[in-house]
Structure 1
Amino acid sequence: MLYTRLLPYASLFAVAANAQATSDLILGGGSTSTTSSSASTSGSSSGSSSGSSSTVPTSGLSEPATPTGSYISYSSTITIEFTTSSSAITTSAILSTITSGSTTETTTLGSTTIFGYSTEETTSNVTSSTTAPTTSQLLLSGSFSATSTVTLNSTSSTSTQPAPSATCNNYPQFCTRKYGNITEVSAHNSPFIKSGNAAANQDLSVTAQLNDGIRLLQGQVHFNGSVPHFCHTSCDVLDAGPITEYLGLVYNWVSSHPFDVVTILIGNGDYKPVEQFVPFLQQTGLVKFAYTPPKIPMGIDDWPTLSQFILTGKRVLFFMDYQANQTSVPWIMDEFSQMWETPFDPTDRSFPCTVQRPPNLSPQDAKNRMYLMNHNLNYDINILGNSLLVPNFPLLNITNNITGYGSLGSSTQNCENMWGFPPKFLNVDYYNVGNGSVFEVAAMYNNVTYNRTCCGLPTSGSMKLETAGRSATFGLVLVVLSWMFL
């Protein structure tokens, strides 16, 4: 019985032992270590800049389970009106072309209308009104129209089809469905894929993640000096590099996938003012795709359809957990006034679907917002005064499964039963474990069929660490048993 209870823990120790040859364990775990109750700077240090994985001794380290900070609430809705003083310069069609074998199908999604000169963005609420000039913008209008089919090596076209064949986020049904009414898979700590580092949360590159169907990319940011890096708890534990490198890859993918809508959730680990992120995000090129909502905050039914995002070209949604300021930077949306989360970095396999952040949210308000379900199971291990929160590798196949106690499917059903609608995002570790099971769960609650191939080849994380765990488990069990009976 004692051996059975210790075996999963020994596997986790094996992970850490494989990641570092010395006696120091690599810290694993959640997406943040900041526990300040206000918007002040966290006490964790960013550390020195490093492009490779780094390790720290565990002695005396403690990783708090839940981050906190200031939460924004609105007594009234702020509306943002867009007006332009110019006339149309040019109009052109938006086409989707899909080739299968010897047949090419072309769908007209709508038309683009380019307006020049200046645009004014007016923000107003009950008590005040501000006006700020912006640059020229691209406005698109139109609707779905017929699909034409052309056979290769043929000189004539066949008859038109009654419905478009274009897919939006991999499903044609999503094109006319509102953003808030689609359940999608989120890569918890998407950038953290360092080989041999137990603090990693994913196996595959961000490009592979997007190719496989991940549509929310979430990661914690700490400033390494004056430059924001994706760092896990601190940059001494896992430094995935400057955010510009990772988001540059996202830009490349978004640019080459014009019919996909991607969400990016920035964890502001140091509680920096949102304005400090802007120049770095501008460097990535993603800002030209950034969506600005017409009002603040947005309720679950206020969001556009995916086709509306696509037609306007504003296909990237930025959220920030703490320190967002939509009157200053309107395209970086405050997460918790528009989306709530279930318990963070859960260690409870029952995965209660309760509101943890923002605190004290009324059930009525919760039902008017999207929500993110944290379904990334962790071990909370305390050894010799060290507190470690690490992904639960031995149970990954069950955690990411469709059915069974502690499975993603079971938790999603529990949430739907409790709130009347499924989560917007399913936030998981090592989404590829289960060979697409996480996407199958999302498809079930979207009433569509998942028939894609998953997943890309692993570059780090669970697959390699799992092997290390199997090879070293026996020896480490003996070590742990010896320590237990000292």
Structure 2
Amino acid sequence: MRAACLLPLLAVGRALSQSVADDEQAISESLAHLAESVSTTIDGATVPTGEYITYTTTSYLTDQGSVVGSTAIEVTGTPGSNMIAANATTTTTSDTITVLMGGQTTITGNATNNATQTSAPTPSSTPVVNTQPCNGYTEFCNRKYSNITMVAAHNSPFVMKGNVAANQALDVLYQLDDGVRMLQFQTHLVDGTVYLCHTSCDLLNAGTLEDYLTTVTNWMRDHPYDVVTLLIGNYDYAAPGNFTGPIERSGLVDFVFTPPMVPMGLEDWPTLGSIILSGKRALVFMDYQANQTAYPWLMDEFSQIWETPFSPTNRDFPCNVQRPPGLADIDARERLYIANHNLNVEFNIANINLLIPNTALLNETNSDVGRGSLGWMADNCTTRWDRPPNFLLVDYYNVGNFNGSVFEVAAKMNNVTYDRNSCCGSLSAAPTLVFGTTMVAALLLLVGVQILASTF
């Protein structure tokens, strides 16, 4: 009787086990075929080893970079001071943005010019409410750029259903609409054109950098109160001049921010409001080979930002500095930092050695609570460094223990309230790779069957 009851469970277990085996074989055969067509070894499971820039003194920049129209925000005294109040009222007419600071200071700017300030004759005794939030929150308008936690899309362009190298389920327009404010991606230079490829363009090619930036630029034109950060992964260590063309032709040049100095310390960054009013709302960083003497607007990442361990496979998500290596604690505390929270598993076949997203654990990894969750990691980092991460780098941002859980974590770090009804792409847009969830389900069922069988 008991044996008869076990037969259906065992049959299901065998069927799932066979399905998993078939799925793994299909993926392996696909990657093996790919490996035959790739002339060089694909190794995405190692930490990049590019050169790191060290500045011994602070240099003050001008607007003489090669990208025409990129103008530095002028900073005098304490950067960001007296620029915009948290309770400011903001109105727009045509291309002009005007902010009224409770009757005390008026700041006007547009898409191409710096902000100017004039004093109002009579201060207002009644505070007013800002009707135009900065990056979604009125509270951010008077905060320094360095005092805000943002959700960052790891490998933002890599949206390709069924591809093991994909990192997102929803494209960049969904990402921006939902609240992602850092877009990170990997580039490859092929015959003079910059492409967006994951490890190899034979593995996943998301098109040209120019096309991607054109989409981002069009979104920014329609959203004048948003600051977007772009982090370029220069996989081939290409010369920085290769990136000027895509930025100019895409139109992003109209929005490129030039810092007033290099490197920018934690307290040197302007407020989000002043960046918005300047019209220069696209902050562009590059991990390797940046040259801010030649291109002041193309900011060197690691002289101004540090990162926790790259492509983590450890669910403990340690919050130590990995890049740049050897950075002293005292120096780390003067820079922005990225918390890498995109959990990976290593996949090896033929001459392919890849780290791919651990899709089986996404609900836990992107959760706001629990061991190994984004919320748990962010709390640990905040305790370790006495301030929250500036950027939370995640895969499949729309997946979590509830819709928008990654934004809930960022809101908690920012001490603001997140509207859970504002997000996201449907949970059904989670990755559908059977390599992960099906395998785990089958293993759990088989283990359950074995435990059940052992009790009889």
TM-score bin, normalised by smaller chain: 0.7 to 0.9
Superposed CA deviations along residues 434-453 of structure 1, whole A, max 9, x for unmatched, are 21000000000100010142
- Which amino acid counterpart does residue 286 of structure 2 have in structure 1? M
The Cα of 1:343 is off from its aligned counterpart by: 0.4
Superposed CA deviations along residues 55-77 of structure 1, whole A, max 9, x for unmatched, are 54599754332112110011110
8 Å CA contact retained: 1:15, 1:465: no
Match of 1:101 in 2: none
Superposed CA deviations along residues 421-467 of structure 1, whole A, max 9, x for unmatched, are 1110000000000210000000001000101421125897x433259
In structure 1, the residue corresponding to 2:431 is in which secondary structure? Answer: helix
The answer to whether the aligner puts 1:239 opposite 2:205 as a matched pair is yes
Equivalence map 1:280-319=2 (5 Å): 280-319=246-285
8 Å CA contact retained: 2:42, 2:352: yes
8 Å CA contact retained: 1:403, 1:409: yes
CA distance in 1, matches of 2:319, 2:19: 29
The answer to whether the aligner puts 1:222 opposite 2:197 as a matched pair is no
In structure 2, the residue corresponding to 1:263 is in which secondary structure? Answer: strand
Match of 2:53 in 1: 72
Aligned in 2, Cα 1:249/1:61: closer, same or farther, shift over 3 Å? Answer: closer
TM-score (norm. length: structure 1): 0.73
Match of 1:447 in 2: 415
The answer to whether the aligner puts 1:23 opposite 2:4 as a matched pair is no
Match of 1:96 in 2: 91
The answer to whether the aligner puts 1:347 opposite 2:353 as a matched pair is no
Match of 1:173 in 2: 139
CA distance in 2, matches of 1:199, 1:10: 24
CA distance in 1, matches of 2:143, 2:292: 26
Equivalence map 1:454-473=2 (5 Å): 454-457=423-426, 462-465=430-433, 469-470=437-438
- Which amino acid counterpart does residue 269 of structure 1 have in structure 2? Y
- Give the structure with the higher percent helix: 2
The Cα of 1:225 is off from its aligned counterpart by: 1.6
CA distance in 2, matches of 1:10, 1:175: 56
Match of 1:258 in 2: 224
8 Å CA contact retained: 1:221, 1:268: yes
RMSD (Å) for aligned C-alpha atoms:
3.6
8 Å CA contact retained: 2:35, 2:350: no
CA distance in 1, matches of 2:385, 2:19: 37
Match of 1:374 in 2: 340
8 Å CA contact retained: 2:360, 2:437: no
* Partner residue of 1:337 out of 295, 303, 314: 303
Superposed CA deviations along residues 220-245 of structure 1, whole A, max 9, x for unmatched, are 00012210000000101100000111
The Cα of 1:25 is off from its aligned counterpart by: 2.9
CA distance in 2, matches of 1:262, 1:113: 18
Aligned in 2, Cα 1:251/1:358: closer, same or farther, shift over 3 Å? Answer: same
* Partner residue of 2:235 out of 269, 281, 289: 269
In structure 2, the residue corresponding to 1:170 is in which secondary structure? Answer: coil
CA distance in 2, matches of 1:107, 1:173: 14
Match of 2:404 in 1: 436
Aligned in 2, Cα 1:143/1:262: closer, same or farther, shift over 3 Å? Answer: farther
Aligned in 2, Cα 1:367/1:95: closer, same or farther, shift over 3 Å? Answer: closer
Q: Which runs of 5+ in 2 are unaligned?
A: 1-15, 65-70, 72-88, 121-125, 447-456
CA distance in 2, matches of 1:427, 1:250: 18
The answer to whether the aligner puts 1:206 opposite 2:201 as a matched pair is no
The answer to whether the aligner puts 1:163 opposite 2:119 as a matched pair is no
8 Å CA contact retained: 1:204, 1:459: no
More deviation in 463-472 or 181-190? 463-472
CA distance in 2, matches of 1:226, 1:458: 39
CA distance in 2, matches of 1:259, 1:144: 23
- Which amino acid counterpart does residue 31 of structure 2 have in structure 1? L
Aligned in 2, Cα 1:204/1:390: closer, same or farther, shift over 3 Å? Answer: same
Count of residue correspondences: 391
TM-score (norm. length: structure 2): 0.77
In structure 1, the residue corresponding to 2:267 is in which secondary structure? Answer: coil
8 Å CA contact retained: 1:14, 1:468: no
* Partner residue of 2:113 out of 134, 138, 143: 138
In structure 2, the residue corresponding to 1:245 is in which secondary structure? Answer: helix
- Which amino acid counterpart does residue 176 of structure 2 have in structure 1? L
CA distance in 2, matches of 1:419, 1:13: 45
- Which amino acid counterpart does residue 231 of structure 1 have in structure 2? C
Q: Which runs of 5+ in 1 are unaligned?
A: 1-7, 27-53, 85-93, 99-105, 115-136, 146-159, 479-486
More deviation in 271-280 or 206-215? 271-280
Match of 1:44 in 2: none
In structure 2, the residue corresponding to 1:397 is in which secondary structure? Answer: helix
Match of 2:6 in 1: none
Superposed CA deviations along residues 325-370 of structure 1, whole A, max 9, x for unmatched, are 0010110100000000000000000001011100111110000000
Equivalence map 1:372-451=2 (5 Å): 372-382=338-348, 387-434=353-400, 435-451=403-419
Aligned in 2, Cα 1:295/1:439: closer, same or farther, shift over 3 Å? Answer: same
Aligned in 2, Cα 1:362/1:469: closer, same or farther, shift over 3 Å? Answer: closer
8 Å CA contact retained: 2:213, 2:246: no
Aligned in 2, Cα 1:265/1:446: closer, same or farther, shift over 3 Å? Answer: same
In structure 1, the residue corresponding to 2:254 is in which secondary structure? Answer: helix
Aligned in 2, Cα 1:395/1:13: closer, same or farther, shift over 3 Å? Answer: farther
Equivalence map 1:49-88=2 (5 Å): 55-56=34-35, 61-80=42-61
CA distance in 2, matches of 1:191, 1:178: 28
CA distance in 1, matches of 2:119, 2:342: 39
In structure 2, the residue corresponding to 1:388 is in which secondary structure? Answer: strand
8 Å CA contact retained: 1:195, 1:459: no
The Cα of 1:416 is off from its aligned counterpart by: 0.8
